[in-house]
Amino acid sequence: MNTYKLASSGLIYTPGMLLWVRALTRRDVKGARSDLGAKRHYILAMFPDLPEKAVRKLAAGDYTVDGETVTVIA
């Protein structure tokens, strides 16, 4: 198991972006075959180095928020 901390920047509030991503459905993303596929597309666009386990946990909402930082254990 690894711990990944996703920090916010001056322009991006990471917890808010993940809430937005989690609300996406396949209808919102051209070419997405599933709701998970739509979410996965945007999570990987924002955090391209995350492993698949971490991406799936983020899409499912299995993470913690501490201030402006999101922590996922995968």
For the segment 7-22, what is each residue's pLDDT rounded down to a tens digit? 999 999 999 999 999 9
Query: So where are the chain's domains?
Result: 3-73
For residues 49 and 40, give the distance between their C-alpha atoms in angstroms, rounded to a whole number. 13
CB 65 within 8 A of CB 17: no
For the segment 32-67, what is each residue's pLDDT rounded down to a tens digit? 788 888 899 899 999 999 999 999 999 999 999 999
